[in-house]
Amino acid sequence: MDEDLPRPKGDAAGLLSKESLDPYSQDELAERIAVLEVEIARIKAHRDKVSAHRSAADALFKPRTH
């Protein structure tokens, strides 16, 4: 993903990055980190699945060279 492009309005990561963390306790911050780490793992797994699917499609439809 091109980081120079603006995120769509309402993007969850964009909203989270603007939120003040001052009101959160140490425990709440630790819990928030754990939740975000799970979400990161889910996104990475989806990215890898999409990449593998794309690679398989590219291999299937790639013109043969003799």
pLDDT tens for 50-61 read: 988 888 877 778
Distance of alpha carbon 52 from alpha carbon 36, whole angstroms: 24
Of 56, 58, 57, 54, the closest CA to residue 46 belongs to 54
- Residues with Cβ within 8 Å of 29's Cβ and at least 6 positions away in sequence, in order, are 21
Is 0.85 topped by the overall pTM? no
The predicted structure's pLDDT at residue 1: 46
Q: Measure the CA angle with vertex 35, ends 29 and 36; round to 5°.
A: 90
The pair of structure tokens assigned to 32 is 């928030």
